[in-house]
C-alpha cells in the first residue's frame, strides 16, 4: 500500500509559475507613469505581500516620492492584462503533464489554493489538466484560509484520503498542511517540483 493516499498541490508557485507574470504586468502598467519595476526587486521584496503594500513601498522609493493611490488606480488594468496573459499561455511548470500522468491512478490528487476558483479552473482547463484532480479547494470553500488547516482537511475529506503529502511553496501554506496533520514537501519554485516530489515518493517507508 502506498505511503500516501493523496497528493495535495498548492497552485501559485507550485504547479504554475505565476509570479513573473504578475511582475511583468505591473511593470508594463506602471512604466507610462515613470515607475520602473524589475524582477529582482519584485522577487526579493514583493512576493507574498499585498499589492497595495507593494505599491506603497514603490511610491515611497520613487524619486521624488509620490502618491501610492495614483499607482493603485492602475490595478484594474493590471488585473485584466494578467488574466488575458495567463489564459493565453498558462505558465505551468515544465513537465507537469508527464508528472501528473505518472501519478494518475496511483494517488488521488487535489489543488488547494487561496486563489478564487475563477482564477484557477479556466487555466487548468486550458492546459488540459482538470481531469487529474479529484477536487479543487479554493478561496471561499472554507471559512478559515491558510495557515489554518481547514483547506487541506477539506481536500482530504472530499478525496476520502486519510494520508496525504502536501506540496507547498509559502510559509502560510506549509503551516496549513502541517496543522492538518500531513507531511509537507516544501518546494522553492515550480521547476523543482517534479524532481523533489518523485524523490520523496520513491523514498517510501523506512524498511522495518
Ligand atoms: Mg503558493
- Ligand 1 geometric centre to CA of 28 (Å): 23
Name the stretches of the chain with pLDDT < 50. Answer: 208
- Ligand 1 geometric centre to CA of 201 (Å): 21
| DSSP tag of 80 | H
Q: Are 132 and 7 in contact (CB under 8 A)?
A: no
The whole model's pTM is what? 0.82
Percent of the chain with pLDDT over 70: 96
Please list, in sequence order, all residues whose beta carbon lies within 8 angstroms of the beta carbon of residue 57, skipping any fewer than 6 positions away. 45, 46
- Ligand 1 geometric centre to CA of 67 (Å): 30
Strand partners for 136: 111
Question: For residue range 89-100, what is the model confidence (pLDDT) as tens digits?
Answer: 899 998 999 999
Please list, in sequence order, all residues whose beta carbon lies within 8 angstroms of the beta carbon of residue 138, skipping any fewer than 6 positions away. 111, 113, 114, 115, 116, 117, 120
Tell me the CATH number of domain 19-88, given options 2.60.40.1180, 3.40.50.11690, 3.40.50.10310, 1.10.150.240: 1.10.150.240
CA distance 173 to 137: 13
Which homologous superfamily is 6-17+92-203 in? HAD superfamily/HAD-like (3.40.50.1000)
- Ligand 1 geometric centre to CA of 187 (Å): 9
What's the confidence (pLDDT) of residue 1? 65
Name the residue with cell 488585473.
79
Question: For residue range 85-128, what is the model confidence (pLDDT) as tens digits?
Answer: 999 889 999 899 999 999 999 999 999 998 888 888 999 998 99
Domain boundaries, the chain: 6-17+92-203, 19-88
Strand partners for 165: 7, 183
Ion ligand 1: residues, CB within 5 A, are 10, 12-13, 169-170
- Ligand 1 geometric centre to CA of 173 (Å): 7
Amino acid at each position: 500500500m502506498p505511503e500516501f493516499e493523496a497528493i495535495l498541490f498548492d497552485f501559485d508557485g507550485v504547479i504554475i509559475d505565476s509570479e513573473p507574470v504578475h511582475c511583468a504586468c505591473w511593470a508594463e502598467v506602471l512604466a507610462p507613469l515613470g515607475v520602473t519595476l524589475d524582477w529582482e526587486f519584485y522577487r526579493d521584496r514583493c512576493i507574498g505581500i499585498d499589492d497595495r503594500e507593494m505599491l506603497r513601498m514603490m511610491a515611497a522609493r520613487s524619486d521624488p516620492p509620490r502618491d501610492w493611490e495614483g499607482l493603485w488606480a492602475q490595478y484594474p488594468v493590471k488585473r485584466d492584462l494578467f488574466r488575458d496573459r495567463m489564459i493565453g499561455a498558462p505558465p505551468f511548470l515544465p513537465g507537469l503533464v508527464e508528472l501528473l500522468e505518472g501519478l494518475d491512478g496511483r494517488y488521488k490528487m487535489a489543488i488547494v489554493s487561496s486563489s478564487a476558483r475563477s482564477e484557477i479552473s479556466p487555466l487548468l482547463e486550458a492546459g488540459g489538466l482538470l481531469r487529474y484532480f479529484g477536487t479543487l479547494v479554493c478561496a471561499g470553500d472554507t471559512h478559515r484560509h491558510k495557515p489554518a488547516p481547514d483547506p487541506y482537511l477539506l481536500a482530504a475529506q472530499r478525496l476520502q484520503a486519510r494520508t496525504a503529502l502536501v506540496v507547498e511553496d509559502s510559509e502560510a501554506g506549509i503551516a496549513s498542511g502541517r496543522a492538518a496533520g500531513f507531511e509537507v514537501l516544501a518546494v522553492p519554485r515550480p521547476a523543482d517540483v517534479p524532481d523533489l516530489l518523485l524523490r520523496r515518493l520513491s523514498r517510501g517507508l523506512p524498511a522495518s
